[in-house]
Amino acid sequence: MIMVTGGSGNIGRRVLARLSETYDVLNVDRASPGDAWRGRTEALDLTDRESLSHLTESFDAIVHLAAIPNPYVATWDEVLRVNMLSTFHVLQFAVERGIPRVIFGSSESASGWGIHGKWYRPDYVPIDEKHRSLPSEVYSFTKAFGDQLCQAASREHDLQTICLRYTFVTFESLYPAFLAQLRSGEPREALGTSYAWIDVEDVAAAIACALQMPMQQGQSETFYLTAREHYGTLDTVEMVRRNWGDDVPVDRSYYANNPRGSLFDLRKAETMLGWTPQWTVERLMAEHG
């Protein structure tokens, strides 16, 4: 059985649908997932450590998506409290129950180049999993802290952990506004944004891959998940130049056949996770426009 926390959210509902095709799935969320979900939901508050204690099932893995999704919908204190406590309690529960694997719904914001305060100059582009992280506001900090908690749990308790740093996620309720922006013809060249994105279907597919990825005890891996191309109107090399000048090292070979490739590097996810994004701007417009 797989436990999914936050399965009633915009990403979580699609993850429930995808995983329930293969696994028995328990949704843990204080909110209802809606009528489409026919499985079981436990309305638990993950900031309360004892809330998980009455679960008696044996779980093969936990997919931890529950979180306040950005710094704009709650106070900073609440974002810190909810996001950090819930992640800590889920990892603690996994260790105590002997659940071998936790998949953490992180964010590219953990790097400092998603949602951000200060827009730092990257050391190089594309930004990969070895690049240092420079979170500069509360939500980004909670995601970076969650990644570090996962790594610590792997080191100390032999837990297998996978941190998925997905970029801005498009889903059904966002399609009208997102597609209208794409069709407007207005230049998308603002400084301070990467225009990186990913569709919710690709996030769900990556989580399915993460459940199947071969791992050793105590192994922890982080992956960037992004659509292959950003949705801005500038080529990436020019976008980097306008944001940070000419002295940021850019792997031009990475963008040679994909000039508007994402600021974030896909290669580790493709080779180790065995996942490749299927959704493009063109496909999104064709199927949801």
List pLDDT tens digits, range 169-179.
999 999 999 99
Fold of the CATH domain 2-171+199-228+264-288: Rossmann fold (3.40.50)
Paired tokens of 197 = 């994105």
Is the pLDDT at 39 greater than 90? The verdict is: yes
User: Is there a contact between 42 and 28 (Cβ–Cβ < 8 Å)?
Assistant: yes
Question: Comparing C-alpha atoms, which of 138, 44, 139 is closest to residue 93?
Answer: 44
Tell me how crowded residue 271 is: count the other CB atoms within 10 A of its CB.
9
Say what the pLDDT of residue 264 is.
99
**Domain residue limits, the chain:** 2-171+199-228+264-288
Say what the pLDDT of residue 289 is.
75
Average pLDDT of the residues of the chain: 96
Say what the pLDDT of residue 185 is.
83
Is the pLDDT at 43 greater than 90? The verdict is: yes
Mean predicted confidence (pLDDT) in 100-107? 99
Please give the model's pTM, rounded to 2 decimal places.
0.97
Distance CA 148, CA 155 (A): 11
Is the pLDDT at 242 greater than 80? The verdict is: yes
